[in-house]
Amino acid sequence: MLSEFQALEARDPRRMQRVRQVISHLLRNQFIHVEDRGSSGLLDTLLKSDIERLASDYFDVAGYRLIVRESEGWAGILPDTEQISHPRMRIDETLVLLLFRRLWEEGVQEGDVERYGSVLVTLNAAYDAYQDMVARARRPTLSIAEFKALVATLERRAIVRLGELDDELEDIPLTIRALVATVAGDEFLAHLEELLARPDFQDSDIEPVNKNTDADDEDEA
């Protein structure tokens, strides 16, 4: 594999630089979405068949699977659980990810789907739904500011996108992208639903999947 990278470097240094940028972005943020600033060119590079193969081989060595969903406008890396264990996530981030999967599915079922399979809600509506969820789980509720900060961490991973504040409505558009269905897949969903229903639910119960490789360990599950 190293020889293939060296051959590309010798043949086309500028293209090799783009490959480095793609790999670096995925290592840092886990996902690329075409609608994010500066990401369209990265995704175009990755969609070249020879580049996709090189990148896929690179991440395979590290224990990750490269997933490319051109129709949904994204690409990303997920742990190959046959090679490495699931990274751990903060409980609150896990619950919000579960919430966004639900809200996305509801939007799809109601036909409120936008380009690339995204579903548009608002930050306040999502926060109201979050409060209902944590009431069931008997967890302390994050403040709206803490909730927004957590949403911002998911935005950095391209899972959602926050719009600009609407002063009149005092609310912010929130786009939930189709990749949430892959990040919080059916196994993830079923496991969490089971845990949330338990009367003895504790922080230490959750070991969910698909965390950013560079995430900190604060408040781990």
Closest CA to 181 of 110, 91, 87, 116: 116
160 three-state secondary structure: strand
Q: What is the pLDDT of residue 2?
A: 75
Q: What is the pLDDT along the chain (221 residues), one digit of tens a residue?
A: 678 888 888 998 988 998 999 999 999 999 999 999 989 999 999 999 889 999 999 999 989 999 999 999 999 999 887 776 666 677 788 889 989 999 999 999 999 999 999 999 999 999 999 999 888 767 788 999 999 999 999 999 999 999 999 999 899 999 999 999 998 877 666 666 665 665 555 444 444 444 444 434 334 43
**E-state strands within 7-131:** 31-33, 64-69, 74-79, 119-122
Residue with token string 């990265």: 42
* Whole-angstrom distance, CA of residue 103 vs CA of residue 1: 41
Q: What is the pLDDT of residue 125?
A: 97
